[in-house]
Structure 1
Amino acid sequence: MTEEIDIKNLVFKAIGQFSFLFLLLGMCFFLPAWTFNYWEAWLYIGTFVSMMIVFLIYMVRNDPGLLKRRLEKKEKRKKQKWVISIANLLFLSIFLIPGFDKRYEWSHVPVWGVILADLIFAFGYLFFFWVMRENSYAAHNVKVEKGVQKVITTGPYAIIRHPMYLAVIIMFGITPLALGSYWGLIPLSVIFVFLYFRIADEEQLLTEELEGYEEYMKQTKYRILPKIW
């Protein structure tokens, strides 16, 4: 039976979460920088907002179930809870450090580098959008909807098992440069460690609860980077 979804309520919830996200981003950028004269941050926010609005419109019109899953952020697995908590702090540092870098002029990314970084960020978001189109069950948290969810083997899933994480790496790995900072790249190496633990635990759950996933792992050998990992 298809679950009925209150579209209006879902849209209000999405707008509320997105508005809070961008308010938080603004605070992370402009408070450490102690100025609104931070064009790199404005360009990044504009790019992010534009991509997210397009994605929201698509989900509301074509896949409200996906939007509902993306808005459910609470993790139930213990391993995921601590991984996400620490990873969130590290992601926060990626947003905070460039502001301090701007304020104290620790490093300087040239204009062309910032613009290129924003273009790469947009590409990463488009890749993320492609992943979501292929996999309507790509929830924000780690779970399996038994009896409904199926193994996805099309699109990027035909090449790697976790393309959504690759999209995240592209988007947020380039973010410090888009914000005009080299120092903001420092936390990335630690985030990859926590990403490894998240994927390992997720695959354990999928193997146990999602029919056909173990066979899929044998066919699609690489998690994120073909020929590497």
Structure 2
Amino acid sequence: MITRLILQTVAWLICMGALLFGAAGTLAWPAGWWYLIETGALSLWVGFWLARHDPGLLAERLAPIVQAQQSRWDRFFMIGVALMWTAWLVLMAFDAMRYHWSAPLPVWLVSLGSLCIFLCIFMCRFVFQANSFAAPVVKIQTSRGHKVIDTGPYAYVRHPMYSAALLLFIGTPLLLGSWWGLACVPLLVIGIGWRAVREERVLAQQLDGYTAYTSRVRYRFVPFIW
């Protein structure tokens, strides 16, 4: 499992690096290198923690983004996410380095972006600790005894991993220095908001106790907002 984790992480970093630096047209991009180092190191940190404390969840996290048990609409959604993420990275590299559409961001905003990415993955670690069923795809994990989780961050919002993703959406363009990338964030938020609503319909229909949980925990992403 550890070998698979390392290989998949390295492959993911190589693909992202090829997109970023290929679109940038140069390797002389410190922010791009730091983005890869930070996300790669933090992802491995969480992965090693899962390998020790919840190997079943790690196996789910390493599984393909398209699966047989997955809801059909979610298969198309995940393919769309992969394509949109690719286009987003290319856009930010074009903007920040190749064509310089955006004015340079101040250092404090770039640093804030790095902090947001750290907080995102740090928050995900607590999500995984609370919820052993936090698979990347929408499905009911009957073989693993899937049940409603209402402890930890799930006591405050119904989708704490999506809450953490909001920080990643903001932090990535700030760290990479792209105002155009930041302008795309509302589209990303709308996308995961749509998925959260569809996901809840599946859970309410197929997971005992989920409807009662939604009546106790009112907010999806951010308390008192939505």
Listed one character per residue, the Cα deviations across residues 144-176 of structure 1 (whole Å, up to 9, x for unaligned) are: 123711211111100000001111121133201
The answer as to whether partners of 2:127 and 2:161 remain within 8 angstroms in 1 is: yes
CA distance in 1: counterparts of 2:202 and 2:21, whole angstroms: 40
Aligned residue among 6, 24, 43 for 1:15: 6
State the match for 2:94 in structure 1.
100
Aligned residue among 45, 49, 66 for 1:74: 66
Q: What is the deviation of 1:89?
A: 2.1
State the match for 2:146 in structure 1.
149
> In structure 2, what residue type is equivalent to 1:97?
L
- 1:12-51 mapped onto 2 (5 Å cutoff): 12-51=3-42
Secondary structure of the 1:174 match is helix
- 1:159-178 mapped onto 2 (5 Å cutoff): 159-178=156-175
CA distance in 1: counterparts of 2:204 and 2:15, whole angstroms: 36
The answer as to whether partners of 2:66 and 2:78 remain within 8 angstroms in 1 is: no
Q: What is the deviation of 1:93?
A: 2.4
> In structure 1, what residue type is equivalent to 2:126?
W
- Aligned structure 1 segments of 4 or more residues deviating by more than 6 angstroms: none
The answer as to whether partners of 1:146 and 1:209 remain within 8 angstroms in 2 is: no
State the match for 1:5 in structure 2.
none
CA distance in 2: counterparts of 1:88 and 1:57, whole angstroms: 24
Q: What is the deviation of 1:195?
A: 1.4
CA distance in 2: counterparts of 1:201 and 1:113, whole angstroms: 34
> In structure 1, what residue type is equivalent to 2:198?
D
State the match for 2:136 in structure 1.
140
Using the size of structure 1 for normalisation, the TM-score is 0.91
Listed one character per residue, the Cα deviations across residues 180-227 of structure 1 (whole Å, up to 9, x for unaligned) are: 111112322222222122112211111111111110000001111111
CA distance in 1: counterparts of 2:74 and 2:112, whole angstroms: 33
CA distance in 1: counterparts of 2:217 and 2:57, whole angstroms: 24
Q: For structure 1, which segment, 185-194 or 66-75, has the greater mean C-alpha deviation from structure 2 after superposition?
A: 185-194
**Residue 61 in structure 1 maps to residue 52 in structure 2:** yes
CA distance in 2: counterparts of 1:83 and 1:60, whole angstroms: 28
Instruction: Tell me which of the two structures has the higher relative contact order, counting C-alpha pairs closer than 8 angstroms and 6 or more residues apart.
Output: 1
Listed one character per residue, the Cα deviations across residues 1-45 of structure 1 (whole Å, up to 9, x for unaligned) are: xxxxxxxxx222222221111011101211111111000011111
> In structure 2, what residue type is equivalent to 1:220?
V
State the match for 1:197 in structure 2.
194
CA distance in 1: counterparts of 2:136 and 2:222, whole angstroms: 21
Secondary structure of the 1:204 match is helix
Q: What is the deviation of 1:114?
A: 1.1
Paired residues, what number? 220
Q: What is the deviation of 1:112?
A: 2.4
CA distance in 1: counterparts of 2:197 and 2:43, whole angstroms: 28
Secondary structure of the 1:166 match is helix
Give the RMSD, CA atoms, in angstroms: 1.4
Specify every segment of 5 or more residues in structure 2 that has no aligned partner in the other structure, as ranges. none
The answer as to whether partners of 1:94 and 1:185 remain within 8 angstroms in 2 is: no
Using the size of structure 2 for normalisation, the TM-score is 0.92
The answer as to whether partners of 1:98 and 1:183 remain within 8 angstroms in 2 is: yes
